[in-house]
């Protein structure tokens, strides 16, 4: 999923002319290939992908030799070579340890996604972060902005700082203060257990020498970058924490996920309100030209022009609304046949490979009807995604599917992680249901879910189902891919659908609240799903006018296409990243890097001063005067010798009924006559709130520094 999102953003960057370079690993055995055996068990296969058969080229020196990078690990070096992928106008570089210069044991480090244990995982992330940054330098590429797509790449933070140290002679703390302004961390994880963590002894083994010899810092200081409590020697090293401490901005991948992430990272910002934890959001999008069918491309071109995804997409909503009901329905009915043909061929091929009888193989070639309502459900089989919610009452599901007047057909696909036995059991449950003779005409499971299957599914299904347990779907982009093709979403109010859903665009599950692992709630949602299908979705599809057009369905489809397709396009996502992060980050990095990092040195000195004096900061007398419609506060603050410009003093009041909090900066009036280092601050606020609603607080302040991301100290008036 993460690879699809990144790939779509690279394609959109190419379309829009945003100067981006991608860096990743070449997994020569990739993610596993899935086979379902006769008992419904998932088997994982790892065929070798020959790079010579892939659309990639070796990265070579001008003399024709491979470009190789040496990464020193304890006791030996790993040599990395690189491959180049041309993504339109954008280049993607993939690092590969399968080089003859390496010992056999090390050639396979990059062979598998999720391969091996923590040791292999840590090596992969070292090669990606440190090796990836060194590759860019070897190619003469000097990025202003380093966008960390998940914490896996966070070691690039260290190598970028080391690079700056080498260029300028600055120590690590200054180099990190400078370079972090140009780093952006995007988190895709919705649960704390999803962050990569490594045991302290493993980090010491692989990075202890690097920290001391290359970064000039102690192991303790390195570990502190990845810990909540720097002084807890037993705490593991969290890659997300490293990414946060090494970045100038952090974002989640949907509005709801931004809120979830603020709670996940609250421990790093003690005493700050959850809403002020510095995590924003930019909702993912998909590259629409990649996922639309030929028929969809033709329809959109007729309505909106060929270059519709290359600009700001302002007119698309109005343009697609002008398409007639008849044209839209003709387009949708035509889209079903290619999916049915593909599903029949793929299923017949799987049956034959599994040793099914000729009769069963032939039956697979005749399954399904393009005129019947087709539901699609395809994703990773993990318990939190609740892929078996539809199977809560198998007999009711069968009655829904096999209704002779209004039949429904269901296509299921998805893989479970090879180590996830619970997820594999969910697949087996579906296989056993589908293999019942009375179910077989209405439901199929297509094994080995991949991008090709995704492409056919999102282009041909009428309704896309998604049933995760809120709020564990960070974003989810599969449902976005049906939008351009006229498919309609029926999904839990989680991830992107929580911000996309309105009643005339699709259907929603859930009440928009979190219910944890409540099995009773799961059962209630399953019943609600059956009801929604039975009473709303299926009748709307089959209720036709005198021309055979389901007018209410087509109206919903048109609104989904018009309002959601531009909004959840990777075009919009990349424009938001560029405007909100890439351009400001580049400017901030250049400002800090000027004169060999002089601003970074000032920042470090400012923080040292805070460290020495912060503990003795305190509040003194509070004076309150209410005049008409205003409260006037005067507050004494002891700054223990700190320059008043090094802090910001505010009056704070919680928001009411969803409104934002009040944050009123207080003005410095004068020093206190009877207290050295004491000052009087004043602020005026509206008397519509009681004076007891307001609390004074002191926080660090330095021009151009992100608070609390770069310094999380805060002192509240008690």
* pLDDT tens profile 483-518: 999 999 999 999 999 999 999 999 999 999 999 999
Read off the pLDDT band of 96 (50, 70, 90): very high
How confident is the model over 315-328, as a mean pLDDT?
95
Residue 630 contacts by C-beta under 8 Å, 6 or more apart in sequence?
684, 685, 686, 687
Q: Strands of 274-344 (E only): list them.
A: 280-281
CA distance 12 to 575: 9
User: pLDDT, tens digit, for every residue of 267-315?
Assistant: 999 999 999 999 999 999 999 999 999 999 999 999 999 999 988 888 9
How confident is the model over 150-156, as a mean pLDDT?
96
Q: What is the pLDDT of residue 376?
A: 97
Q: What is the pLDDT of residue 1?
A: 75
Q: What is the pLDDT of residue 534?
A: 97
Quick one: which H or E segment has residue 251? strand 249-252
Indicate if the pLDDT at residue 31 is higher than 80.
yes
The two structure tokens encoding residue 298: 């033709």
How confident is the model over 395-400, as a mean pLDDT?
97
CA distance 221 to 350: 54
Which class for 569: exposed (0-12), middle (13-18), buried (19 or more C-beta within 10 A)? Answer: buried
Nearest to 529 by CA among 492, 496, 504: 492
With vertex at residue 340, the alpha carbon angle to CA 334 and CA 344, rounded to the nearest 5 degrees, is: 155
CA distance 446 to 426: 14
The two structure tokens encoding residue 82: 């690189």
Write down the residue that tokens 């993610």 correspond to. 31
Indicate if the pLDDT at residue 209 is higher than 90.
yes
CA distance 211 to 80: 21
DSSP three-state, residue 23: strand
Cβ-based neighbour number of residue 637 at 10 Å: 26
DSSP three-state, residue 387: coil
Quick one: which H or E segment has residue 513? none
How confident is the model over 551-573, as a mean pLDDT?
97
User: pLDDT, tens digit, for every residue of 326-341?
Assistant: 999 999 999 999 999 9
Residue 205 contacts by C-beta under 8 Å, 6 or more apart in sequence?
74
Q: What is the pLDDT of residue 501?
A: 98
SS3 content of the chain, % helix, strand, coil (to 5): 45, 20, 35
Contact status, residue 26 vs residue 96, Cβ threshold 8 Å = yes
Read off the pLDDT band of 75 (50, 70, 90): confident
Read off the pLDDT band of 354 (50, 70, 90): confident
CA distance 548 to 427: 37
Which DSSP state fits 228?
A: S
Read off the pLDDT band of 389 (50, 70, 90): very high
Nearest to 494 by CA among 253, 196, 187: 253
At residue 401, what are phi and psi to the nearest 5 degrees? Answer: -70, -40
> Based on C-alpha coordinates, what's the Rg of the chain?
29
Read off the pLDDT band of 698 (50, 70, 90): very high
Q: What is the pLDDT of residue 131?
A: 97
Which DSSP state fits 646?
A: G
Q: What is the pLDDT of residue 355?
A: 83
Indicate if the pLDDT at residue 317 is higher than 90.
yes
Indicate if the pLDDT at residue 621 is higher than 90.
yes
Quick one: which H or E segment has residue 70? strand 68-73
Biggest alpha carbon–alpha carbon distance for the chain: 98
Quick one: which H or E segment has residue 423? helix 421-434
CA distance 588 to 607: 18
Whole-number Cα distances in Å, 439 to 119, 174, 309: 45, 66, 42
With vertex at residue 203, the alpha carbon angle to CA 198 and CA 209, rounded to the nearest 5 degrees, is: 170
Please tell me whether the overall predicted TM-score, pTM, comes out greater than 0.85 for this model.
yes
At residue 339, what are phi and psi to the nearest 5 degrees? Answer: -65, -45
Residue 232 contacts by C-beta under 8 Å, 6 or more apart in sequence?
none
Indicate if the pLDDT at residue 537 is higher than 90.
yes
Nearest to 526 by CA among 408, 390, 411, 400: 390
Strand pairing report for 33-36 and 57-58: unpaired
Quote the percentage of the chain above a pLDDT of 90.
90
Read off the pLDDT band of 2 (50, 70, 90): confident
In a 13 Å sphere around the CA of 657, the CA atoms on its Cβ side amount to 0
Indicate if the pLDDT at residue 222 is higher than 90.
yes
The two structure tokens encoding residue 134: 């060194």
User: pLDDT, tens digit, for every residue of 420-448?
Assistant: 999 999 999 999 999 999 999 999 999 99
Contact status, residue 184 vs residue 280, Cβ threshold 8 Å = no
Q: What is the pLDDT of residue 371?
A: 95
Q: What is the pLDDT of residue 673?
A: 84
Q: What is the pLDDT of residue 115?
A: 77
Q: What is the pLDDT of residue 48?
A: 87
With vertex at residue 568, the alpha carbon angle to CA 567 and CA 569, rounded to the nearest 5 degrees, is: 95
Indicate if the pLDDT at residue 105 is higher than 80.
yes
Contact status, residue 663 vs residue 650, Cβ threshold 8 Å = yes
Which class for 521: exposed (0-12), middle (13-18), buried (19 or more C-beta within 10 A)? Answer: middle
Q: What is the pLDDT of residue 382?
A: 93
Helices 583-613 and 155-168: angle between axes, nearest 10 degrees: 80
């Amino acid at each position: 999923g993460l690879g699809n999102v990144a790939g779509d953003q690279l394609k959109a960057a190419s379309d829009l002319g945003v100067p981006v370079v991608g860096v990743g690993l070449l997994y020569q055995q990739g993610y596993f290939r899935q086979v379902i055996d006769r008992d419904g068990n998932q088997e994982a296969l790892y065929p070798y992908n020959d790079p010579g058969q892939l659309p990639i080229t070796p990265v070579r020196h001008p003399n024709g030799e491979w470009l190789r990078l040496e990464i020193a690990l304890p006791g030996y070096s790993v040599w990395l070579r690189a491959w180049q992928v041309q993504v339109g106008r954008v280049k993607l570089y993939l690092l590969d340890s399968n080089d003859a210069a390496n010992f056999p044991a090390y050639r396979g480090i990059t062979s598998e996604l999720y391969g091996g244990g923590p040791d292999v995982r840590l090596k992969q992330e070292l090669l990606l972060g440190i090796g990836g940054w060194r590759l860019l330098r070897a190619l003469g590429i000097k990025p202003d902005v380093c966008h960390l797509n998940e914490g896996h790449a966070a070691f690039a933070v260290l190598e970028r700082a080391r690079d700056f140290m080498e260029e300028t002679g600055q120590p690590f703390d200054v180099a990190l203060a400078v370079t972090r302004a140009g780093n952006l961390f995007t988190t895709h994880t919705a649960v704390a257990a999803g962050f990569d963590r490594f045991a302290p002894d493993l980090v010491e083994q692989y990075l202890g020498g690097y920290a001391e010899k290359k970064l000039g810092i102690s192991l303790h200081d390195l570990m502190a970058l990845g810990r909540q409590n720097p002084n807890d020697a037993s705490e593991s090293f969290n890659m997300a924490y490293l990414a946060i401490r090494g970045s100038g901005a952090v974002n989640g991948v949907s509005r709801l996920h931004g809120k979830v992430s603020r709670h996940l990272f609250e421990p790093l910002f003690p005493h700050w309100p959850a809403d002020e934890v510095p995590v924003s959001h930019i909702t993912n999008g998909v590259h629409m030209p990649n996922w639309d069918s030929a028929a969809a491309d033709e329809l959109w071109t007729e309505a909106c022009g060929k270059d519709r995804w290359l600009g700001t997409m302002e007119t698309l909503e109005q343009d697609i609304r002008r398409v007639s009901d008849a044209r839209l329905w003709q387009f949708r009915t035509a889209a079903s046949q290619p999916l049915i043909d593909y599903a029949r061929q793929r299923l017949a091929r799987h049956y034959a490979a599994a040793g099914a009888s000729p009769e069963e193989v032939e039956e697979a070639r005749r399954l399904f009807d393009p005129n019947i309502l087709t539901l699609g459900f395809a994703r990773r089989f993990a318990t939190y995604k609740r892929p078996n919610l539809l199977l809560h009452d198998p007999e009711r599901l069968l009655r829904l599917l096999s209704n002779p007047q209004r039949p429904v057909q269901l296509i299921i696909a998805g893989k479970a992680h090879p180590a996830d036995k619970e997820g594999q059991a969910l697949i087996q449950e579906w296989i056993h249901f589908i293999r019942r003779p009375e179910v077989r005409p209405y439901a199929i499971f297509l094994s080995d879910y991949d991008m090709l299957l995704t492409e056919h599914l999102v282009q041909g299904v009428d309704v896309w189902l998604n049933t995760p347990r809120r709020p564990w779907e960070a974003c989810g982009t599969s449902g976005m891919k049906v939008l351009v093709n006229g498919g309609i979403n029926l999904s839990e109010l989680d991830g992107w659908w929580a911000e996309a859903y309105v009643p005339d665009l699709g259907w929603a599950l859930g009440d928009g609240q979190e219910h944890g692992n409540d099995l009773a709630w799961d059962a209630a949602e399953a019943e609600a799903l059956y009801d929604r299908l039975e009473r709303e979705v299926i009748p709307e599809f089959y209720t036709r006018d005198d021309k055979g057009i389901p007018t209410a369905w087509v109206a919903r489809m048109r609104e989904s296409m018009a309002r959601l397709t531009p909004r959840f396009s990777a075009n919009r996502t990349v424009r938001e990243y560029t405007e909100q992060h890439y351009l400001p980050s580049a400017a901030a990095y250049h400002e800090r890097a000027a004169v060999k990092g002089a601003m970074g040195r000032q920042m470090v000195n400012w923080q040292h001063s805070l460290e020495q004096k912060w503990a003795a900061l305190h509040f003194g007398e509070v004076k309150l005067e209410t005049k008409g419609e205003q409260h006037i506060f005067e507050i004494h603050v002891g700054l223990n010798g700190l320059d008043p410009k090094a802090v910001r003093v505010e009056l704070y009041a919680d928001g009411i009924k969803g409104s934002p909090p009040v944050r009123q900066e207080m003005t410095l009036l004068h020093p206190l006559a009877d207290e050295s280092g004491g000052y009087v601050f004043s602020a005026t606020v509206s008397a519509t709130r009681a004076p007891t609603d307001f609390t004074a607080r002191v926080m660090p302040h330095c021009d151009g520094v992100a608070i609390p991301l770069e310094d999380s100290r805060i002192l509240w008036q008690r």
